[in-house]
Copies of this chain bind each other. A is one copy, B any other.
Amino acid sequence: MERWESVASANPILRFVDAVLRGFGQVMFQNSPITGLFFLAGLFVGGWEFGFYALFACVASTGTAYWLGVPQDAIGAGLYGYNGVLVGVALAFYLDDSWMLVPYVLLGAFAACIASAAIGNLLGTWQIPALTGPFVVTIWLFALGIYGFSQVEAGPNSQAPALPTLMESGRASLNFTNFYEGLFKGVSEVFFQNSIWVGIIFLIGIFLSSQIDTAMALLGSLIGLSAGWFLGVDQNSLALGLMGYNGVLTMIALAGLFYELDASSIIVAAIAVIVSVVVAIALTAFTAPYGAHIYTAPFVLTTYGFIAAKPFLHRLRAVAPADASTPEGEINLYRRVHWWAKKKG
């Protein structure tokens, strides 16, 4: 890895490739090209169109950022790629495949780049990271295009508009197969992939960058699934991991990344995951008249809230977005700071 970094930094093309791969990794907060490579591979396993449009959009968004003069360190860390990746995958997932998808994804990737800078600037005032908020804003706008553009057509995964309806009573009866399917699909659904194997490839990718985050990803999926079952979400959503993927991201973000890893941050993150399940159901109802597509909005809104609260939560040790790396890295940093403090003291 160190060898790649020295090679990549010396060559502008490899540096760009590195930035693009890190863009994939940043979808789950991993600033690592090798993790990004696994994520890209997982998408191609899920379907060629997911891999292709994700790569195309990530290149376009990252390239746009270069052209617009965005600071190099942010681009190099993949921060102008990950929202593009998700825009590419989501448009490929929800829209009908035609050649018009190419210019539409290109425009979406450009918009995601601007949205990244804009939301980064606005939320930077409070040291809140943009997360996948730029993706959510962009995809909510672009996916609604099917209602007004004849050249942008709804694909088979796009749902029809309807008013929300009440749930009938009774809890889902999850058997063991449903359960472990839901657990791993909770990881794959971060990229809209409905596959245990893709989920496992993603987990391996995370593992190569951070073992703690791998555990947090699984824990987040588990808590989301369990909370969804307890509150009475339908069986299909549970087995597809739809109550888990926001938990995966929320757990990684709050337990060890934007709050230092300790018992308190784990408890708070676990409760945040349960809240994200409520937010997911609420947003599904809210978006029902437009097809009930919620993307990663439950994670984004929940985590924005829990990070925005940080100046008043003195039990938790908040980490500024610029200092956030991995739980392992932050623990080491924390130890070093303490060692220095002791040596000085």
> Which residues of A does B touch, CB under 8 Å?
67-71, 74, 104, 107, 110-111, 114-115, 117-122, 125-126, 140-142, 144-154, 161-171, 230-234, 268, 271, 274-275, 278-282, 284-286, 288-290, 304-306, 308-316
Q: Is the CB of A309 within 8 A of B153?
A: no
Q: Which residues on B sit within 8 Å (CB–CB) of A69? A: 312-316
Q: Is the CB of A149 within 8 A of B233?
A: yes
A197 CA / B231 CA spacing, docked (Å) = 37
Q: Which residues on B sit within 8 Å (CB–CB) of A68? A: 268, 312-316
Q: Which residues on B sit within 8 Å (CB–CB) of A145? A: 231, 278, 281-282
- Expressed in whole angstroms, the minimum distance between the Cβ of A108 and any Cβ of chain B is 8
Residue contacts A-B, CB under 8 angstroms, 19 given:
A68-B268, A68-B314, A69-B314, A114-B309, A115-B305, A115-B309, A117-B313, A125-B125, A125-B126, A142-B282, A144-B164, A145-B281, A146-B166, A147-B288, A148-B281, A149-B233, A150-B168, A150-B234, A154-B166
- Expressed in whole angstroms, the minimum distance between the Cβ of A312 and any Cβ of chain B is 4
Q: Which residues on B sit within 8 Å (CB–CB) of A111? A: 275, 278
Q: Is the CB of A275 within 8 A of B107?
A: yes
Q: Which residues on B sit within 8 Å (CB–CB) of A71? A: 312, 314
Residue in B120, B126, B280 whose CB lies within 8 Å of A122 = B126
Q: Which residues on B sit within 8 Å (CB–CB) of A271? A: 107, 110
On whether A70 and B313 interact (CB within 8 A), knowing A145-B231, A161-B163, the answer reads yes
A288 CA / B167 CA spacing, docked (Å) = 18
A165 CA / B316 CA spacing, docked (Å) = 47
Residue in B148, B268, B308 whose CB lies within 8 Å of A284 = B148
Q: Which residues on B sit within 8 Å (CB–CB) of A150? A: 167-171, 231-234
Q: Is the CB of A146 within 8 A of B121?
A: no
Nearest opposing residue in chain B for A304, CB measure: B118
Q: Is the CB of B141 within 8 A of A279?
A: yes
- Expressed in whole angstroms, the minimum distance between the Cβ of A7 and any Cβ of chain B is 27
Q: Which residues on B sit within 8 Å (CB–CB) of A281? A: 144-145, 147-149
Most chain B CB atoms below 10 A, which of A149, A167, A232, A233: A149
A164 CA / B71 CA spacing, docked (Å) = 41
A305 CA / B141 CA spacing, docked (Å) = 13
Residue in B161, B285, B316 whose CB lies within 8 Å of A164 = B161
Q: Which residues on B sit within 8 Å (CB–CB) of A164? A: 144, 147, 161, 289-290
- Expressed in whole angstroms, the minimum distance between the Cβ of A58 and any Cβ of chain B is 18
On whether A286 and B144 interact (CB within 8 A), knowing A152-B232, A305-B118, the answer reads yes
- Expressed in whole angstroms, the minimum distance between the Cβ of A326 and any Cβ of chain B is 24
7 nearest A-B residue pairs (beta carbon): A150-B232, A69-B314, A148-B281, A117-B309, A151-B232, A118-B308, A69-B315
A117 CA / B67 CA spacing, docked (Å) = 36
Q: Which residues on B sit within 8 Å (CB–CB) of A122? A: 126, 308
- Expressed in whole angstroms, the minimum distance between the Cβ of A243 and any Cβ of chain B is 10
Q: Which residues on B sit within 8 Å (CB–CB) of A312? A: 68-71, 74, 117, 120-121
A120 CA / B316 CA spacing, docked (Å) = 17
On whether A284 and B147 interact (CB within 8 A), knowing A117-B312, A312-B70, the answer reads yes
Residue in B67, B121, B142, B148 whose CB lies within 8 Å of A308 = B121
